Structures are given as structure tokens and as C-alpha cells.
Chain A
């Protein structure tokens, strides 16, 4: 799996041309690592980093891009398992819900 950034989720902001923005603190190496550690659910892959959820979508043969999402968008079964495994805390759910 290879990560390729989607310009629509990257700084700089361009009016009417951007969606949810990835944190600037996530560099390419870290994002690639997140992708490799991510878990599939349906046709997407989910990852958590410092309590925040991210989703990856495939756009090429083995290429993926990703962006931040709220916990509300993460499948309940995955969310609960990660809670049980200690990969996220209940306060993370509240802080990054939407």
C-alpha cells in the first residue's frame, strides 16, 4: 500500500476547493506508517493517531489517500475494539466525535 496525498485535504487553504484538512504535523513517513497499521472495514481503512481517527480511501491500484474524520464515522465495532485494546480512550471519543 502506498500513500499519495490528496491536494483537497492539504494546506494551503483555497476557498471552495478544500475539504477536511490533515494536520500539518503529520509528515509523509508518519502517514505511510498509519496506512500500514490501518484496519480495513468495507472499502476503506481506518487508523488512529493520538486519539484522532483517520480514514484512507483507495484511488489507484495500490495507492491510497487519507483525511481526518470524526469517531462518529468509524464503524462501531472497530471503535469498541480499539477502546478495549486501549488504542483510544473514552475522552478521545468525546473530543474528536464530529
Chain B
């Protein structure tokens, strides 16, 4: 069952048995009140599919809702801004404390007591940890929404998607993700990059059509276009080169 929402635009790309993304925009039920205009236009729903599991599917008051509903512009901007680390940064911030990005982050979120005793070392540990989390954890873009705790990172020749149970502040007791985890999967980068890019590009252009003079949206669309340009040899993180290298 899906939440009742009059869809104005939607895009679905990928293979749900591997990786797929769906984004849909709808009219903000609060008519953009208490938000910036660009944000208000981006109200909608998102589904993130990994190996047959829709990580955004959740129960609200006992009803199954397939999408997370929130302002999607911050999420789109986050994917675009952190595209390179999402697909190319593997090393974890503190140490490999476990097998996946999510479980390792969880295990290292507080400095060990030996480090905590030294103010400078503890600050460095936490700063590095938080910077890594900001680049890799979807929740860094939640901006007040209720999103699953999903971490993307490179893992050797693959891209790892890992997730786990973490009840965010302000999440009501009757709100529960169906696939809470902890769990993970590792896929060839193109399986994730291609559908992700397709949805991000479509969504960005749609938002710009609403607000063509928005500097913020112009900047976003420009960044997305750059991702699509065939890279110079030293720009090894661009999407097309990434995809080509896997063919």
C-alpha cells in the first residue's frame, strides 16, 4: 500500500533485485510553509531498493508505506556532492572494526577510553569520524526527515551498501523500517551508479523547471552535468569513466 500522494513527477531506474531508486515529487501538503521555495518544491517520496529489499519501506501506525516522504532536494544534493567518496572511498575513518561500513561506524562512533583521555586526540577522532559519516551516510542529508540509516562506500572493486537499526531522535514509536538490518550487499559500481545518476539528473532538471532562476538549482544541475561528462584521464571519479571502466 502506498501513501496517498498526487504524483507530479516520478522516475524509477535500476533493477530491484540489484539496486534501484525511485523518486517522486508531489505537492507539499503544507504548501511550502516554513521552508525555502526550492525545498518546498521538492516534497515527495523516495524508495531505495537493494537486492529485493526496499530500505525505505516502513510501518506507520501499522500501515505499510513503501516510500519515505520528505523534502528530497537535500538528498539529491547530498548524492551529487558526495558522488566521488560514495563510489571511491573505502577506508573507514577510525579503523575497520567490523565487516561493513555501517557496523564499523557504529563500533567506532565514540573514541576508545585511551584516546578519550586526551582532549586533542579525542577531538581529532570525532572530527574525522563525523566527516566520513557526512560523506557516506544517507542520514547526513535527512534535514528533519525520517530516513533509513544507510551507508555507501567503495569495497575493493565493488560498492557496498550497508544499513542497520538506529532509531533517530524524534522518530515516533509507531514508525518502523521493514528492513532494519543490520545487513549489507556489495555490487559492481555501475549497477548503482547508472540508475542513481538517471534519477538524480531527471529530478534535478524537474526542480529547475519550477524555479529556473534559482542559483541553488542551477548549481545542482551544473554539478550533475559535470558528472555526466566524459572525464579527462586525471578525473578518475567521473561517472562515465567509472561506468566505462566496468564494461
Closest to A5 in B: B34
Complex-state Cα separation, A16 to B133, whole angstroms: 27
Whether the Cβ atoms of B170 and A67 lie closer than 8 Å is yes
Question: How near does chain A come to B107, taking the closest CB pair, in angstroms?
Answer: 13
Whether the Cβ atoms of B123 and A16 lie closer than 8 Å is no
Whether the Cβ atoms of A15 and B65 lie closer than 8 Å is yes
Question: How near does chain A come to B65, taking the closest CB pair, in angstroms?
Answer: 6
Return the CB mask of A23-56 against B: 1 if under 8 Å, else 0. 0000000000000000000000000000011010
Whether the Cβ atoms of A13 and B3 lie closer than 8 Å is no
Whether the Cβ atoms of A72 and B133 lie closer than 8 Å is yes
Return the CB mask of B22-56 against A: 1 if under 8 Å, else 0. 00000001100111100000000100000000000
Question: How near does chain A come to B93, taking the closest CB pair, in angstroms?
Answer: 12
Check: B69 CB closer than 8 A to any chain A CB.
yes
Check: A59 CB closer than 8 A to any chain B CB.
yes
Return the CB mask of A3-16 against B: 1 if under 8 Å, else 0. 01111110001111
Whether the Cβ atoms of B123 and A19 lie closer than 8 Å is no
Closest to B133 in A: A72
Complex-state Cα separation, A97 to B65, whole angstroms: 26
Complex-state Cα separation, A96 to B33, whole angstroms: 28
Within the complex, which residue of B30, B60, B109, B127 is in contact with A15, where a contact is CB–CB below 8 Å?
A: B60
Check: B8 CB closer than 8 A to any chain A CB.
no
By a CB distance below 8 angstroms, the chain B residues around A70 are 168-169
Q: Given contacts A15-B3, A76-B130, are A98 and B30 in contact (CB under 8 A)?
A: no
Within the complex, which residue of B4, B5, B36, B110 is in contact with A94, where a contact is CB–CB below 8 Å?
A: B110
Chain B interface: which size bin?
Answer: 35 or more
Which of B11-19, B142-150, B186-194 is the contact stretch?
Answer: B142-150
Whether the Cβ atoms of A8 and B144 lie closer than 8 Å is yes
Whether the Cβ atoms of A21 and B126 lie closer than 8 Å is no
Within the complex, which residue of A6, A20, A57, A76 is in contact with B127, where a contact is CB–CB below 8 Å?
A: A76
Whether the Cβ atoms of A13 and B167 lie closer than 8 Å is no
Question: How near does chain A come to B60, taking the closest CB pair, in angstroms?
Answer: 5
Check: B185 CB closer than 8 A to any chain A CB.
no
Closest to B174 in A: A13
Whether the Cβ atoms of B65 and A72 lie closer than 8 Å is no
* Other 16 A-B pairs with CB < 8 A, given A6-B34, A59-B35, A98-B149: A9-B170, A15-B3, A15-B61, A16-B60, A16-B67, A17-B29, A19-B70, A20-B169, A21-B171, A21-B172, A22-B170, A52-B169, A69-B144, A69-B170, A77-B127, A80-B123
List 28 A-B residue pairs with CB atoms under 8 Å apart, sorted by A's residue number.
A6-B34, A7-B33, A13-B60, A13-B61, A13-B174, A14-B29, A16-B45, A19-B170, A20-B146, A20-B168, A20-B170, A21-B170, A21-B171, A21-B172, A53-B169, A57-B143, A59-B36, A67-B144, A68-B169, A68-B170, A69-B144, A69-B170, A70-B169, A72-B133, A76-B126, A76-B129, A80-B122, A96-B169
Which A-B residue pairs are the 8 nearest by beta carbons? Answer: A20-B170, A16-B3, A6-B34, A68-B170, A98-B166, A68-B169, A16-B69, A19-B144
